[in-house]
Amino acid sequence: MTVAVRPERLAADDSSTGRAALLKVALDCFVDKGFHGTSMRDIAQRANASIAAIYYYFPSKVDILRHIMIDVTQDLIVALERARDAAGPDAAKQLAAVVKAHVRLHTMRQGESFIGNTELRSLAPADHDHMIALRDRVAEIFRTPIQSGAKRGIFRCAFPHEATLAILTMCTAVAGWYRQDGGETPETLADRFAALALAMVGFSGAA
């Protein structure tokens, strides 16, 4: 959905509100036209603002991308950690919980997740390294219960490393194909993906 922000609204907004509005407009542009196909002028025109107003908040288009990608990934980490901790110590419950949290965020914040998953190469080197570190944290949240469950015999999984990558890839891809009008709710997909993940690691009980 396109968000139009009038110049006087941007000028009147405080810094955090103005930045958030422009980030939403920029995200719409990136989703519609791609990061490289979007110019700062495109963002300004869609926001009904001057280019100077855009540069007031962000020094470059890459800086806008950085904010979008890092913000959504940090929020994902928080959601995953909360889900894991709420699930208790059981490895199967933890894996099911983090899969559900991952799928829910990737459907409910689809545009941010899609851009975050497809534009890593467009970041500046330092930001690229930061994003890799954040993604490694996400992977670790999945890896820990899978390895624990395999080690304890809860999961019949000969290849826990590959299973972690496969489950992460499966969950991440949701942002690329999910349709809000497709008939399935985020909760329904989250439950189904949790079941698929548990089947992939060879779990036969009830999580």
Q: Structure tokens of 119?
A: 């534009």
Dump pLDDT digits (tens) for 164-204. 999 999 999 999 999 988 888 999 999 999 999 999 999 98
Q: Which of 7-21, 52-66, 72-86, 135-149 has the lowest mean pLDDT?
A: 7-21
Q: What is the pLDDT of residue 84?
A: 98
Q: Structure tokens of 134?
A: 């954040």
Residues above pLDDT 90, as percent of the chain:
84
Q: How far apart are CA 54 and CA 45, in angstroms?
A: 10
The residue that leads in pLDDT, 93 or 6, is 93
Q: How far apart are CA 140 and CA 148, in angstroms?
A: 12
Q: What is the pLDDT of residue 8?
A: 34
Q: How far apart are CA 139 and CA 142, in angstroms?
A: 5
Residues above pLDDT 70, as percent of the chain:
91
pTM beyond 0.85: the answer is yes
Dump pLDDT digits (tens) for 50-99. 899 899 999 999 999 999 999 999 999 999 999 999 999 999 999 999 99
Mean pLDDT for 25-29 is 97
Q: What is the pLDDT of residue 181?
A: 86
- Asked if residue 61 lies in contact with residue 40, where contact means CB atoms within 8 angstroms, the answer is yes
Q: Shortest CA distance to 96 belongs to which of 203, 184, 2?
A: 203
- Reported confidence tier of residue 18, pLDDT bands at 50, 70, 90: confident
Q: What is the pLDDT of residue 10?
A: 37
- Asked if residue 25 lies in contact with residue 87, where contact means CB atoms within 8 angstroms, the answer is no
Q: Structure tokens of 154?
A: 């809860």
Task: Quickly name the fold that domain 7-58 has.
Answer: Arc Repressor Mutant, subunit A (1.10.10)
Q: Shortest CA distance to 112 belongs to which of 56, 66, 164, 57?
A: 66
Residue spans per domain, the chain: 7-58, 63-200
C-alpha 207: how far from chain center = 25
Question: What distances in angstroms separate CA 156 from CA 34, 146, 199, one per listed residue?
Answer: 42, 10, 9
**pLDDT averaged over every residue in the chain:** 91
Q: What is the pLDDT of residue 193?
A: 98
Q: Structure tokens of 163?
A: 């299973």
Q: What is the pLDDT of residue 15?
A: 57
Q: Shortest CA distance to 48 belongs to which of 2, 112, 16?
A: 2
- Reported confidence tier of residue 16, pLDDT bands at 50, 70, 90: low
Residue in the structure block whose two tokens are 């489950």: 167
Assign domain 63-200 to a CATH class: mainly alpha
